[in-house]
Amino acid sequence: MFLSVFEMFKIGIGPSSSHTMGPMVAAARFMDALSQKDVRPARVRVRLLGSLAFTGKGHATDRACILGLAGFSPETYDAVQAEAALADIAAHHVLPETTIAFDPATDLIFDYDTPSNGHANAMEITALNAAGATVLSEVYYSIGGGFVLTAAEFECAQNQDASARSNVPYPFQSSLEMLDMAQKASLSIAQMKRANELTRRTSDDLDAGITQIWSVMNACLTRGLTAEGILPGGLSVKRRARGIFDSLVEQQHSNLAPPHIVNDWISAYAMAVNEENAAGGQVVTAPTNGAAGVIPACIRYWLDHVPEADPVLIPDFLLTAAAIGGLIKHNASISGAECGCQAEVGSASAMAAAGLCAVLGGSPAQVENAAEIALEHHLGMTCDPVAGLVQVPCIERNGLGAIKAVAAASLALHGDGSHLVPLDSAIATLWQTGRDMSHKYKETSLGGLAVNIPNC
């Protein structure tokens, strides 16, 4: 099992890695596959199933699918060009630079009745000839964090030998193996992760890529701290990060400010990112869009508020976080539609706690302890977005996830790394709890806060 730091941290767009980025990638993949066939399709249709149907409109899944069919990708997304393409397709019912018919009103179907046979985030794309016969059809699963698999790939992944090793120097597949390898090699988790990454790319490419990840994260956070207004979607949710931040700056030199005000700084940083995500801005999956604010908030907290914080250690933070995220994805899930928000904000908090503990001088055992503390105290958290939007409770939830991460790192650093519950057990519990959780509480907006908010 090897998941690169660039798989755990993907640069893309909001509001959702599984509902926006994944479907866009899937639609683009389908068009690429169609171009390889010696056929001339007359029409393309998209059918959204499971969570993609139930919360797709709130997550802009319909827009993402159309843009993917039109050749857009999350990595190179241009908002102005995207709006022009959407307007052209709506007006002429033809995909750009093709003769393939596509009417969003009839060819993009939200199927609320047909259950998904695989992952909860499912979509079926079909190309038809002039007589209405199918010339190509594919089912895709958006499995969280922008990862996309065809039905065949998903089945293969389910049947893969979980014990199969990747060809890397430190192929740990559990936290127990990770700690054992770190002890035997006398290396940190970040050093082992870096050695693994260098089997896939040069040192310069790795450093440049990590620098870009943090640059995009930080730029998103900074934009969020300066933006104002109402978020799109119809809930009339007001952006709050700037107001909180401005108030904190005014109080910064006051002797009367209580110590716990640092929590407000952390929340403001995280909320700034997720307000940008909710507005459809550029973000980094960390490990998903819905949880994108936790890790950058913890890094900014460390850089801006912790004495002697050194930016040169940011790669160690992100490499450590990616190692923990990889363990969670490999052994459980990072998908809210599959396991609830414990898999998104819970995973992000564990990753952030590990990264922060590492740059504060924690040993591998303390880093593993920090990740376990953070994840343990998100277990059972549901994913119940109001109106299917990544706004309530998602934006504030990132702030609290970041605060928990900081607290977990601090607690771990006060110990020697020994503790009762190993990270592996917390990850296994996340998976078991997610599998037992009612589908109403897994990104369908059919339960929880989504149905208990009064209609005003």
Q: Which of 80, 79, 81, 128 is nearest to 103 (CA)?
A: 128
**Contact by Cβ (8 Å): 131, 23:** no
202: pLDDT strictly greater than 70? yes
What pLDDT digit, counting tens, does each position of 401-423 carry? 999 999 999 999 999 999 999 99
For residue 455, what pLDDT is reported?
Answer: 54
pTM more than 0.85: yes
What pLDDT digit, counting tens, does each position of 7-39 carry? 999 999 999 999 999 999 999 999 999 999 888
For residue 456, what pLDDT is reported?
Answer: 45
For residue 184, what pLDDT is reported?
Answer: 98
Q: How far apart (Å, rounded) are the C-alpha atoms in residues 335 and 262? A: 30
What pLDDT digit, counting tens, does each position of 46-75 carry? 999 999 999 999 999 999 999 999 999 999
pLDDT above 90 coverage of the chain, percent: 93
391: pLDDT strictly greater than 80? yes
Q: How far apart (Å, rounded) are the C-alpha atoms in residues 270 and 291? A: 9
Residues contacting residue 287 through CB under 8 Å, at least 6 positions apart: 8, 9, 144, 145, 325, 328, 329, 334, 344, 347, 348, 351
Q: How far apart (Å, rounded) are the C-alpha atoms in residues 386 and 447? A: 9
What pLDDT digit, counting tens, does each position of 170-187 carry? 999 999 999 999 999 999
What pLDDT digit, counting tens, does each position of 224-257 carry? 999 999 999 999 999 999 999 999 999 987 777 8
